[in-house]
């Protein structure tokens, strides 16, 4: 099991007002879960929060870029956006952003559950 670094520990500490967060190693980074729901990720020393139509404007206003990765020579932009620096400095601000990201993750989960699989 990989050892968490100082930045990951700092993020978890800053999320304390939001609630309990579980951290799992994934794809060279870290996945953050609240009540079993994946709502954020850490890649390098950057925190990215789940965004969707319900909260994307908040990220866009601050020009917070999406998490991107390379696959097959192509750059893939995800629905996770960089957290604002202020959130990493103030647990109250972090709690607000985390609740927004958690809401986006819950909406995605609800859409997935609402899609019924057709018989083959």
Residue 120 in any domain: the answer is no
- Summarised one tens digit per residue, pLDDT across range 65-79 is 999 998 899 999 999
Residue 119 in any domain: the answer is no
Q: Domain of residue 53: give its range.
A: 6-111
How many independent structural domains does the chain possess? 1
- Summarised one tens digit per residue, pLDDT across range 10-64 is 999 999 999 999 999 988 899 999 999 999 999 989 999 999 999 999 999 999 9
41 Cα distance to chain centroid: 5
CATH of residue 44's domain is 3.30.1460.30
pTM of the model as a whole = 0.88
Angstrom distance (rounded) from CA 45 to CA 6: 9
CA-based nearest residue to 90, from 6, 27, 13: 13
- Summarised one tens digit per residue, pLDDT across range 77-108 is 999 999 999 999 999 999 999 999 999 999 99
Residue 44 in any domain: the answer is yes
Residue 101 in any domain: the answer is yes
């Amino acid at each position: 099991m990989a050892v968490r670094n100082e930045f990951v520990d700092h993020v978890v500490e800053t999320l304390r007002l939001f609630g309990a967060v579980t951290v799992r190693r994934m794809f060279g980074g870290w996945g953050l879960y609240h009540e079993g729901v994946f709502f954020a990720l850490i890649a390098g020393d950057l925190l990215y929060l789940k965004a969707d139509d319900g909260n994307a404007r908040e990220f866009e206003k601050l020009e917070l870029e999406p998490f991107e990765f390379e696959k097959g020579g192509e750059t893939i932009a995800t629905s996770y956006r960089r957290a604002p620096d202020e959130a990493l400095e103030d647990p109250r601000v972090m709690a607000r952003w985390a609740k927004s990201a958690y809401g986006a993750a819950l909406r995605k989960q609800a859409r997935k559950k609402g899609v019924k699989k057709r018989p083959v």
